[in-house]
Chains A and B, each alone.
Chain A
Amino acid sequence: MVEAKDIKSSDEIAWCPGCGNFGILNAVKKSVAKLGRDLKDILFVSGIGQAAKLPHYIRCNCFNGLHGRALPVAVAAKIANRKLTVVITTGDGDCYGEGGNHFIHNIRRNLDITLIVHDNQIYGLTKGQASPTTDPGYQTKFQPEGVIEEPLYPLEMAIALGAGFVARGYAGDYEHLSWLILEGIKHKGFALIDVLQPCVSFNKKNTFEWYSKSIYKVNDDGSYNPEDKMLAFQKSCEWGDRIPIGIIYQVEKKTFEEKTGLEGRIPLVDEQIENIDICGLLREDFT
């Protein structure tokens, strides 16, 4: 049995002290331990940014690629070896900004992967520019008059696009977050977990203190129905005074693996390729 402490890698952590990422890392370790899989059968894929460094800090396979491009790498890795548990760790800029197109289309593709977005509403690694989720009016060096664009609402967007598992977590509630991540991994299909993550260096508005006043669990009293799409839209719009966390929307949908027949076959990676017989093809017409 793997324990959370076994999951730590030898790589030195390069985040700021007090960063919300530590909460997410601990939650990830706990959910991986609870998952009960061999670490060699788990792959973490990331793009660029502080969130993208997370895979280096755990003892699972890691592909740390390009800014915004984690999703295409991850989905194809899953196609190549459907037995891998594939988890993506990305930031709001990485996933919703540079990688927006991949976010949209991989929800449509619906492979059985889990996307964890460390959403600190700011570009941390490049030192403080606005991200697609930055609150309007927030001033930065790039936006000295304050952000004028409408923010992008990841949960609404994911529900509208047909994602089967849409959740919001909070880096300050590690127990709840690790449960969410585990549920996301267990969900068969694309799972989005947008994690509210205070950036102690550059986001002076959405701080731990700010969140502590408004965050509540969506299913506190056990009456919330995550299959109700309209209710889910309503909940995903709540922001500011009341911010719900938890599984906002969850329905079962056919996955890419089921639709392509991959699920019933041996993983592509295990196929013998040395002696593929194409003689039959050489008797056919091509034009």
Chain B
Amino acid sequence: MNMNNELTIKIAGEAGQGMQTVGGALCHVFKDSGFYIFANQDYMSRIRGGNNFFQIRISNKQLYTLRQKSDIVVALDNKSVDMHRKDISKEGIVILDKKRFNITGEDSAFFDIPMYHMAKEIGGDEKFVNSVACGFLAEMTGVDFRYVDKVLRTAFSDKKKDIIEKNIEAARAGYDFSINNFKKDIFKIKKGDAKDTLLMTAIDAVGLGAIKAGCKFYSAYPMTPATNLTNIMAHYAKRFNMVVEQAEDEIAAVNMVIGASFTGVRSMTGTSGGGFALMAEGLSLAGMTETPIVIYEGQRPGPATGFPTRTEQGDLDFLISAGHGEFARLIFSPGSIEEAFYLTVKAFNMAEKYQIPVIIMSDQHLADSYRNVEIFDPDSIKVQRYIVSKEESKNVKNYKRYQITESGISPRAIPSWIEDPIYADSDEHTEEGHITEDAWIRTMMVEKRFYKKMAGLSGEIEKPKVFDVEGADCVLIGFGSTYGVLSEMKDSIPDKNIGYIHLPQVWPFPASDMIELLKGAKKIIVVENNAGAQLARLLKRETGIKATRSLLKFDGRPFNVDLLIQQIGQEI
């Protein structure tokens, strides 16, 4: 029996071998039988070949991150055996097909299954090997076969009946093979009560949030890891009366979002750093024309094309300063799937309230990782509108789009709802929206777009999430996807006096909160997935507080809890 009542399972093979299909199916099998899971895939930027793997961590309690070592590795090709053998835990095993892979050597960790032979015999095709694997993994971990049966029927529901039956037969054969040959209980761990949770990724949650917030227009150019957001929006477009349009480039995408928003519709685009670089011009246009827009930015390692399918938090500096000129913006950095959902709804509300661009900054790791979440509470979400309503529009006279107000926010009327024409301009403009070169008006407008709006935004910051910071010997700080790993790490070393702070909003920076929170801190360690210690530098710039140390990871892979425990252990 596993000491911590948890397992890490890795399925490895070439791209195109169907790791995602079997991985996704297994996630559902485990969830349906009560396990909490955390799963993600490590994939290369290619369609076939190479080495990809799908990893699933299961337990009877909520999980937020990955482990370094696997307990069970399923190798679907010869290469995966060598690559992943070294990363197994003390009692870990590698499941392989020795005959098929031409492996003759003995290894106490090997568990040989003629899975390819079984697949061919039952299904008539080696591709059924995934279902064989699914079956024996279920048995080894003590999952009842009926869950496998149900999930496979759903996963292959669009296939012919004959294919569905063959997949189930293949899974059954894998299941029986395990009963008859793998006569150990070491991987049969205690299940949890996760049956009624939702299995999703943060990007699914952003999509759901956008739908709930009333997004009616979504335009994007495909780019990993933001493409899945397009997929989810397109999937639900008909049902929720949204228009989802593939733009000719990111420049078009952001300008389209601005056009739709100017006309009165809540609009969004999604991209990664490279695409966002093209959008910088449009971001500035949204700032100048005071048009609300929401941009999802799923970070991946740069510069340039970087590591297209991997993770990093290297765009913080860029997002804060992108676009020419000075204007207010808001940047959220959700750390969990739940936060991704609620902050997306808030992003639309705030964009409309302040008539500014709002960026939801995430990264590949959070975007693509599956986890169980408690079903969101739709009643706790308020969609608030900040426009001159159709009703109120009838009474508007002598409308000025950029009317100077104390808050910097001018009433936003919708074209064709009011009688007066609306003029919006990217040039410096008068209150009426006409082009001007007047020095005094320029000053007033900069104050409006920059000072006044920033002041308003600073008054309603999404507060830092704080855990055991008071009196702690050491305070850890992170933003975005490191939230999960920081919280699990802390639970794993309860004897140390450690607190941590997660920032769901990085701009405007919660400076006064951080000064208050860190005033007694003996040691401050900032944990981030980049090489430049960008969050630590932002903290210093905005508060004057210098971090004791930065723990940085920039190999394109996320932090895992074991590595972090080791690193933090050396620090304190």
Contact = CB atoms under 8 A, between A and B. Distances in A.
B383 A273 contact: yes
B198 A75 contact: no
B259 A76 contact: yes
B421 A60 contact: yes
A286 B154 CA distance: 12
Q: How many of chain B's residues touch chain A, expressed as a range?
A: 35 or more
A76 B260 contact: yes
B267 to A, nearest CB: 7
A23 interface: no
Interface string B250-265: 0111011111111111
A268 B217 contact: yes
B249 A268 contact: no
B212 A76 contact: no
B454 to A, nearest CB: 23
Interface stretch (B73-81, B199-207, B553-561): B199-207
Interface in A78-104: 79-81, 83-84, 101-102, 104
A99 B421 CA distance: 26
B241 interface: yes
B199 A66 contact: no
Nearest to A57: B434
A79 B422 contact: no
Interface string A260-286: 101001001111011111110110011
Contacts of B260: 76-77, 79-80, 268
B259 A287 contact: no
Contacts of A104: 248
A268 B244 CA distance: 12
A102 to B, nearest CB: 6
B376 interface: yes
A275 B382 CA distance: 9
Nearest to B434: A11
Interface in B424-445: 424-427, 433-435
A282 B378 contact: yes
Given A11-B434, A77-B259, A72 B252 contact: yes
B24 interface: yes
B383 A81 contact: no
Contacts of B267: 76, 80
B138 interface: no
Contacts of A269: 263-265, 414
B264 A80 contact: yes
Nearest to A262: B243
A139 interface: no
Interface stretch (A37-45, A208-216, A241-249): A37-45
Interface string A221-239: 0000000000000000000
B416 interface: yes
Given A84-B415, A269-B414, A282-B198, A276 B256 contact: no
A41 B259 CA distance: 15
Given A69-B282, A102-B248, A63 B255 contact: no
A83 B415 CA distance: 11
A51 to B, nearest CB: 14
A265 B433 CA distance: 32
B473 interface: no
Interface in B202-238: 204, 208, 211-214, 216-217, 219, 232, 236
Contact of A73 (B208, B258, B419): B258
A286 B340 CA distance: 15
A64 interface: yes
A105 interface: yes
Contact of B426 (A11, A66, A275, A287): A66
Interface in A53-70: 53, 55-56, 59-66, 69
Contacts of A83: 416
A152 B216 CA distance: 37
A50 B384 CA distance: 39
B365 interface: no
A276 B435 CA distance: 39
A56 B434 contact: yes
A80 B217 contact: yes
A278 B24 CA distance: 23
Given A62-B424, A276-B383, A278-B211, A79 B255 contact: no
A81 B256 contact: no
A74 interface: yes
A64 B425 CA distance: 5
A45 B423 CA distance: 10
A281 B211 contact: yes
B247 interface: yes
B416 A41 contact: yes
B210 to A, nearest CB: 10
Contact of A40 (B217, B420, B433): B420
A62 B423 contact: yes
Contacts of B261: 80
Contacts of B416: 40-41, 61, 81, 83-84
Nearest to B240: A276
B29 to A, nearest CB: 12
Contact of B263 (A66, A77, A273): A77
Nearest to A85: B416
Contacts of B418: 40
Contact of A79 (B245, B252, B385): B245
Contacts of B27: 287
B297 to A, nearest CB: 19
A53 B378 contact: no
5 residue pairs, one from A and one from B, having the closest CB atoms: A273-B214, A76-B259, A73-B259, A72-B255, A76-B256
Given A40-B421, A73-B258, A75-B259, 19 more contacts: A11-B434, A39-B421, A40-B415, A40-B420, A61-B423, A63-B424, A65-B258, A66-B282, A69-B255, A76-B256, A76-B258, A76-B260, A76-B263, A77-B260, A80-B264, A101-B251, A269-B264, A274-B214, A276-B240
Interface of A: 9, 11, 14, 39-41, 43, 45, 48, 53, 55-56, 59-66, 69, 71-77, 79-81, 83-84, 101-102, 104-105, 109, 260, 262, 265, 268-271, 273-279, 281-282, 285-287
5 contacts: A64-B424, A64-B435, A76-B255, A275-B383, A287-B201
